[in-house]
Chains A and B, each alone.
Chain A
Amino acid sequence: MAGAQTHRLGNGGLVDRSAPLNFRFDGKAFSGFQGDTLASALIANGVKLVGRSFKYHRPRGILTAGSEEPNALVELRTGARREPNTKATTAELYDGLEAASQNRWPSLRHDVMSVNQLFAPIFVAGFYYKTFMWPAKFWEAIYEPAIRRAAGLGRAAGIADPDHYDKAWAHCDVLIAGSGPAGLAAALAAGRAGARVILCEEDFVLGGRLLSDGGMIDGEPAAEWISRTLAELAGMPDVRVMTRTTLFGVYDGGTYGAIERVNDHLPSPPEHQVRQRLWRIVAKRCVVAAGAIERPIVFAGNDTPGVMMASAMRTYVARYAATPAKRIALFTNNEDGWRTVETALGAGLQIAAVIDARPEISPAHRSLASKGGFPVLHGSVSGVDGGKDGVRKIAVSLTGGARAEVEADGLAVSGGWNPAVGLTSYHRGRPKWRSDISAFVPDGAPPGMVAAGAANGDFGLGACLSQGFAAGAAAAHDAGRTGNAGSAPVADDEVFSLTPLWHVAGKGKAFVDYQHDVTASDIELAQREGFESVEHLKRYTTLGMATDQGKTSNVAGLAIMAAVSGRSIPETGTTIYRPPYVPVAIGAFAGHHRDGTFHATRLTPSHHWAVEQGAVFVDTGLWKRAQWYPRAGEKDWLESVTREVKAVRSGVGFCDVSTLGKIDVHGPDAGAFLDRVYINTFSNLAVGKARYGLMLREDGIVYDDGTTSRLAEDHYFLTTTTAKAGLVMQHLEFCRQVLFPELDVQLTSVSDQWAQFSIAGPSARELLKQIVDESEDLSNEGFPFMGAREVTLRGGLKARLFRISFSGEMAFEISVPARFGDAMARNLMLAGAPFGVTPYGTEALGVMRVEKGHIAGPELSGTTTAADLGLGKMMSTKKDYIGRVMAGREALVAPDRQVVVGIKPTDETRRLRSGAHIIPKGQTPGPGNDQGYVTSVCFSPTLNQWIGLALVERGRERIGEIVHAHDPLRGEDYDVELCNPVFYDPDGGRQRG
C-alpha cells in the first residue's frame, strides 16, 4: 500500500486528485496524482533525499522544477527500458512508474562511497590530471576502474531498446520556443497575421511560469487568459502547438532540431507508436521565448537536501500543491524571490525568515513580514546545518558582521535570473552582459531568430506579453504574412530590484556545479594555477560539462572567476554554447534506421527466386546478392562454390549481374564524350559491338572499369562496377555539365530498368538457343565475341544480348526489362535443365575472375594506375582524356611500381589469405623491404589449389621468382611464386569460342 501524501496541500494546484497514481522509488511504494512530475510526487510524499552526487557522493535533493535540474537524476523504468540520468523534475508521473536513485551503494541512505568526502582534498579541480599521472600502466588497470566505480551517474540498460523512435520534418513561417506569456503572445500575433506557426513547449502543460506565478492579463487571471488564448490558437488550422517538445538545436539555413517525447509519459508506448520523435523544423523565423533560469547563490552547504530554488519552491506549492518544507526560509538578493514568501503564506506554510542581501527592501515586503510574523535579516546565508534528512538550521552573516541562526526545514534561494541564452548562441553568438539585471542576454542570434520576454532579459509580465506579441507579429510579417494581428495582451510589470551576489564566503563546501561537484574553491584553485580563461576553467574543473550543461552553474562560476582574477564578468566572458539544449536519446537520432532497417536495401530482380533456391546472401554496399547456392549435403561454402565453378567451366551456369551500374549515353557527341572519360577510344566502336573501358580520375589513378556497347550511332550503353555505380554517374554528369558543355550528350541511369544475367560455360550458346527466337543467329560468325545487339526471345519479349565474358568461358550477358527478371531466372533453369545449368553466386564469380586474372575492387584500390593493372596499352596517345596528363607523372610511371601479378603457394596444400605482405625471399620482414601485398585470393577448383593476385614491385619482370608472404595479422609466413595473373586459358580461346 502506497504511503500517504503527507506533504500535499488539501486543495489547489494543477494535479488531478481524482486520478491517483502509484509509483515506486528505490523499491518503496508511493502515490501521486495525474499532473505530477516524479519530483513533485516525491515532494508530496515528504521525500527529500533523491540522489548522491557525482564525485563526493553527497546527499542531494531536488533543486529545481525544470529541465535545468542538476541533482535529482534517477534511473527511470526497469529492464530494457531503464534510462539513466532522467530528471525527476521533468519525468511525468504515470501509474506503475519505477525509479531508482543513482550512484550509491548499497543504498541511498547508507552509501559507502560517501567516504569520498573524506578524501576531498585529492578530488580538487584537475584531480584526474594530478593524482593519476603515474605510473602510466596503473591508469587502465587500477585508476580508471576505481574512478568509474566511485564517480559516475546512472547505468544504461545494457539490453537493446525495445521501443521505436522516428524522425519527421516540419515547415513553418514562425517557430516559437516556449509557451510562457511571451511565447503564447507571439503565437497569437503570428497566427492572427496568417502565419504558419509551430510552438514547442517542453512541459506537458502550456503556460510556462504563469502556471506557478499567476498574474492578471487583460484584466483576468492568467489561467483564464491561457485557456482563452489556447482556444483561439486551436481555431487556427496552421498553428501547431506541440507539448512535451524541446527545441534543442539551431542549424544552418533556418533548420531547427526538436525532440518530442511522444509517449514518455506512459509506461510503454501503445502498439505501433513511437516513444520519441525527432523533428527537423524548417522555419523562416524563430521567436525564442524560452524564459529564464533562476540562479543559485554559492554558499557553504548549499547542496543540502531542502535547499531549493525559490521559483521551484513556489512551483511545487502553487502548481503541484506539494510542500517541500513546512517552515521555509528565503535567501534572496532580489525582489522576485519574495514571491515565494507570498505563495507559501498563501498556502498556509510558515516563513522562518527572509535573508535579503539587498540593503533595502520595499515597504510592502516590510509590512508583509510584520503581518506574517517573520524576521527580515539583512545579510547572507553562510552555512547550512543538515544532512541527508534535510535542512535543520541556517547560519546567517548579517550585514555589519553579526551572526544569526534560523531554524527551518527548507531554504528557498534566489540569486536572480539568467535568460536562457542557449538557442540564441548556437551559431557562436556571444551573449552580452546587461548590468541592470546582472545577467547575460542574447546577442548575435542566428539569422531570423529573435528572443522575447524573459529570454531577452525582460522579466516583467507586461514586458513579456508586449515583446512576445511584437516579436510574433514582426516574424510573421518578415515571413510574408500580413494579416491583422490585433492588439497585444496587457499586464503590469513587477518591480525589479537586484543586488548582485554570487558567492558567500564560509566554511565548508560551497557548490557551483552541483552535477559535477565543482565548488567555489575549485574555481579559485584553477585561477591560482593559471586556468583563467573560461574555456580552460571549464575543462580543468569540468564546470558546466555535465548533462545539464551548467544551466544553473555557468554564470555563477565565471562570476567567481571574475572576482578572483580581478576582471569584470563581461571581460571574463562565456564559453561557446553548443546544442543539444537537453540530452537527446541516440535512438531518436537513429529513428527508423536500426537493425534490419539500418539502411535502405536494394534487391536484384531475381532476389525472391534466389531466396526460393536457398541462396546465401551477402551485403554488397546496399545490395543483397546471392553469394552461393548451397545444396543438401554440402558441408561448407567452399564445397558449394567449388561445385558452382566446376559446373560453369564444364557446362553452363548463370548469375544475376543486375547490380552493375547501367547508363544510357545518348546524343550525337556520345562517342566523343566517352573518348574523354575513358582512356581508350569509343567513338570508333562499331554499332553492335561492346568494348571494355577503363576510366581514370583526373589525378591519373584508375577510377572504374566496365563494358560499354554501342547500340546505335547516337546511343551507347555503359556499365560500371556495382560499387561505383552512383559515383560514376555523378562523375559523368560533372564531365557533361561542368567540363564539356559543348558536347551534345545526355545521360540517364537505367540500372534498375534491366535485369541482367551472365550465362557462362561451354554450353552457354546451346542454352541460349533454347530461349531466343530461332531466327536469331548465335553462331560465332553471326554473334562474335564482344557482339552486342537486341534479340527476340521465344514468346516475343525483346532482350539485349552481349557476348562478353568475366569468367573466361564462352559467355553472354542478357538483359530483359526488370519485371521479367524473375521469369528470366526461372526460364534459364528450364532452358538449361538439359545442360545441367547451375545458378552461381558472387563467390564463384570471384573465383573465376581471379583464375582469369581479371581485376576487381581490391585491385581498383584508388592507388593503382592503368599500367599497374597491366592495362597500360589501352591508354590512347591520340586524344585527351580525364587523367591523361597526371597519369604520366614521374612517380606514376616509375619502373619500380607495384603491379598486378599472380601468386601461387610453393606448398600447393597451403591456403592463401589476402592482405599478406610480399617480402623478398630470405629477408626479415619490415617496412624497408615491403614490396607489396596480396589483393585477392581464392581456392581454384580448376587448378586444385589456392591462387591469388598481388600488387608487387616490378612484379611482371619477376615471374617465376619465389618471394615471402608475411601475414602478421594472422601470424602466418610462407613462400609464394610470382606468376602470370591469367591462370586459366591465357590465350583466351575459350571465351572466343
Chain B
Amino acid sequence: MRIACSFCGERELGEFTYLGDAKPVRPEAGASEDEVFDYVYLRDNVAGATSEYWYHGGGCRAWLKVTRNTLTHEISSIEPAAGAGAAKVGA
C-alpha cells in the first residue's frame, strides 16, 4: 500500500502509522460522560469508503486524513488532518 502524503508525495506504507476512524470530533470541555464515551469508543464498522487517521512518522510527522475504501483499499482522498478532530465550539 502507498499513501500520498500531502507534503511529501507518495510513500510506502512502512513510513506511516494507522490510528483509526477520523470521523469522531473531540467533545468540548464540559461535555457529558456519555458524549465523551461515544467519542472514545463508538465507531462505525464501514464496508466501503471511510476516513481514517494516518501519521507520517517515518517522514514529515504530519497527521493525515485518508479516505480509503475498506473493500478495495482504494484511496480516494488524502488531506492534512489539521484540526480534523478539534471540538467544534458552539456546534
Do A and B come together as binding partners?
yes
Shortest CB distance A586–B (Å) = 19
Known pairs A885-B36, A888-B33 / 20 extra A-B pairs, C-beta < 8 Å: A251-B1, A252-B1, A252-B73, A253-B75, A255-B2, A282-B12, A447-B74, A698-B36, A698-B40, A699-B41, A729-B61, A730-B17, A730-B55, A734-B55, A738-B85, A739-B26, A739-B85, A741-B82, A885-B27, A885-B31
* Chain B 7-45 interface 0/1 with A at a Cβ cutoff of 8 Å (1 = within): 000101100010100000011011101001101110000
Q: Are the CB atoms of A730 and B40 closer together than 8 Å?
A: no
Q: Are the CB atoms of B1 and A253 closer together than 8 Å?
A: yes
Shortest CB distance A297–B (Å) = 38
Shortest CB distance A600–B (Å) = 12
Q: Are the CB atoms of A733 and B83 closer together than 8 Å?
A: no
A253-B1, A255-B12 known; A737 vs B33 contact (CB < 8 Å): no
Shortest CB distance B69–A (Å) = 11
A252-B73, A254-B2, A733-B61 known; A738 vs B40 contact (CB < 8 Å): no
Q: Are the CB atoms of B12 and A741 closer together than 8 Å?
A: no
Q: Are the CB atoms of B86 and A733 closer together than 8 Å?
A: no
Q: Are the CB atoms of B61 and A741 closer together than 8 Å?
A: no
B49 interface hit (Cβ, 8 Å)? no
Shortest CB distance B89–A (Å) = 9
CA distance A282 to B53 in the complex (A): 24
Q: For window 37-91 of chain B, which residues contact chain A by CB distance below 8 Å? A: 37, 39-41, 53, 55, 57, 61-63, 72-75, 80-87
Residues of chain B lying within 8 A (CB to CB) of residue A741: 82-83, 86
Residues of chain A lying within 8 A (CB to CB) of residue B74: 447
Partner of B2, one of A282, A427, A733: A282
Shortest CB distance A821–B (Å) = 25
Residues of chain A lying within 8 A (CB to CB) of residue B87: 739
Q: How many residues of A contact B (CB 8 A)?
A: 28
Shortest CB distance B61–A (Å) = 6
Q: Are the CB atoms of A738 and B82 closer together than 8 Å?
A: yes
Q: For window 719-772 of chain A, which residues contact chain B by CB distance below 8 Å? A: 726, 729-730, 733-734, 737-742
Q: Are the CB atoms of A889 and B33 closer together than 8 Å?
A: yes
A886 interface hit (Cβ, 8 Å)? yes
A255-B12, A726-B57, A737-B62 known; A886 vs B2 contact (CB < 8 Å): no
A957 interface hit (Cβ, 8 Å)? no
Q: Are the CB atoms of B84 and A253 closer together than 8 Å?
A: no
Partner of B83, one of A255, A730, A738, A889: A738
Q: Are the CB atoms of B2 and A734 closer together than 8 Å?
A: no
Q: For window 423-446 of chain A, which residues contact chain B by CB distance below 8 Å? A: 427
CA distance A739 to B40 in the complex (A): 13
Residues of chain B lying within 8 A (CB to CB) of residue A888: 33
Interface size class of B (residues with CB under 8 A): 35 or more
Residues of chain A lying within 8 A (CB to CB) of residue B19: 734
Partner of B86, one of A253, A427, A742, A885: A742
Residues of chain A lying within 8 A (CB to CB) of residue B75: 253
Q: 5 closest A-B pairs (Cβ-Cβ)? A: A253-B2, A880-B29, A741-B83, A252-B1, A885-B36
CA distance A255 to B83 in the complex (A): 32
A255-B1, A282-B2, A740-B86 known; A733 vs B63 contact (CB < 8 Å): yes
Q: Are the CB atoms of A730 and B57 closer together than 8 Å?
A: yes
Listed A/B pairs (27) with beta-carbon separation below 8 Å: A251-B1, A252-B1, A253-B1, A253-B2, A253-B3, A253-B73, A253-B75, A254-B2, A282-B2, A698-B36, A698-B39, A729-B61, A730-B57, A733-B55, A733-B61, A734-B53, A734-B85, A737-B81, A738-B81, A738-B82, A739-B85, A741-B82, A741-B86, A742-B86, A885-B36, A886-B40, A889-B33
CA distance A169 to B12 in the complex (A): 10
Residues of chain B lying within 8 A (CB to CB) of residue A447: 74
* Chain A 622-657 interface 0/1 with B at a Cβ cutoff of 8 Å (1 = within): 000000000000000000000000000000000000
Residues of chain A lying within 8 A (CB to CB) of residue B53: 734, 738
Residues of chain B lying within 8 A (CB to CB) of residue A733: 55, 61, 63
The CB with the most chain B CB atoms within 10 A, among A253, A447, A734, is that of A253
Shortest CB distance A282–B (Å) = 7
Shortest CB distance A682–B (Å) = 17
Shortest CB distance A875–B (Å) = 15
B interface vs A, CB < 8 Å? 1-3, 10, 12-13, 17, 19, 26-27, 29-31, 33, 36-37, 39-41, 53, 55, 57, 61-63, 72-75, 80-87
Partner of B37, one of A255, A726, A734, A886: A886
Task: Give the residue name and chain of the A residue nearest to B41 (CB).
Answer: A699
Shortest CB distance A2–B (Å) = 49
CA distance A314 to B34 in the complex (A): 75
CA distance A709 to B41 in the complex (A): 34
The CB with the most chain B CB atoms within 10 A, among A282, A427, A698, A738, is that of A738
Residues of chain B lying within 8 A (CB to CB) of residue A255: 1-2, 12
CA distance A280 to B10 in the complex (A): 15
Shortest CB distance A92–B (Å) = 32
Partner of A886, one of B3, B12, B13, B36: B36
CA distance A280 to B13 in the complex (A): 12
Residues of chain A lying within 8 A (CB to CB) of residue B2: 252-255, 282
Shortest CB distance A572–B (Å) = 25
Task: Give the residue name and chain of the A residue nearest to B62 (CB).
Answer: A737
Task: Give the residue name and chain of the A residue nearest to B85 (CB).
Answer: A738
Q: Are the CB atoms of A737 and B63 closer together than 8 Å?
A: yes
Residues of chain A lying within 8 A (CB to CB) of residue B55: 730, 733-734
* Chain A 855-898 interface 0/1 with B at a Cβ cutoff of 8 Å (1 = within): 00000000000000000000000001000011011000000000
Residues of chain B lying within 8 A (CB to CB) of residue A282: 2, 12
CA distance A885 to B62 in the complex (A): 27
CA distance A738 to B80 in the complex (A): 9
CA distance A323 to B20 in the complex (A): 62
Task: Give the residue name and chain of the B residue nearest to A734 (CB).
Answer: B63
Residues of chain B lying within 8 A (CB to CB) of residue A729: 61
Shortest CB distance A720–B (Å) = 15
Task: Give the residue name and chain of the B residue nearest to A885 (CB).
Answer: B36
CA distance A447 to B41 in the complex (A): 35
CA distance A282 to B11 in the complex (A): 10
Residues of chain B lying within 8 A (CB to CB) of residue A880: 29-30
Residues of chain A lying within 8 A (CB to CB) of residue B73: 252-253
Task: Give the residue name and chain of the A residue nearest to B75 (CB).
Answer: A253
Residues of chain B lying within 8 A (CB to CB) of residue A886: 33, 36-37, 40
The CB with the most chain B CB atoms within 10 A, among A280, A730, A739, is that of A739
Q: Are the CB atoms of A739 and B17 closer together than 8 Å?
A: no
* Chain A 252-263 interface 0/1 with B at a Cβ cutoff of 8 Å (1 = within): 111100000000
CA distance A252 to B72 in the complex (A): 9
Residues of chain B lying within 8 A (CB to CB) of residue A169: 12
Q: Are the CB atoms of B33 and A738 closer together than 8 Å?
A: no
CA distance A739 to B17 in the complex (A): 17
Shortest CB distance A664–B (Å) = 13
* Chain A 17-33 interface 0/1 with B at a Cβ cutoff of 8 Å (1 = within): 00000000000000000
Residues of chain A lying within 8 A (CB to CB) of residue B10: 253
Residues of chain B lying within 8 A (CB to CB) of residue A698: 36, 39-40
Shortest CB distance B33–A (Å) = 6
CA distance A623 to B15 in the complex (A): 21
CA distance A738 to B39 in the complex (A): 14
Residues of chain B lying within 8 A (CB to CB) of residue A253: 1-3, 10, 13, 73, 75
Residues of chain B lying within 8 A (CB to CB) of residue A252: 1-2, 73
Task: Give the residue name and chain of the A residue nearest to B89 (CB).
Answer: A742
CA distance A741 to B62 in the complex (A): 13
CA distance A280 to B2 in the complex (A): 12
CA distance A739 to B22 in the complex (A): 11
CA distance A729 to B56 in the complex (A): 12
Q: Are the CB atoms of B86 and A739 closer together than 8 Å?
A: yes
CA distance A447 to B13 in the complex (A): 18
Residues of chain A lying within 8 A (CB to CB) of residue B39: 698
Residues of chain A lying within 8 A (CB to CB) of residue B62: 737
Task: Give the residue name and chain of the A residue nearest to B56 (CB).
Answer: A733
Shortest CB distance B50–A (Å) = 15
Residues of chain A lying within 8 A (CB to CB) of residue B29: 880
Shortest CB distance A28–B (Å) = 48
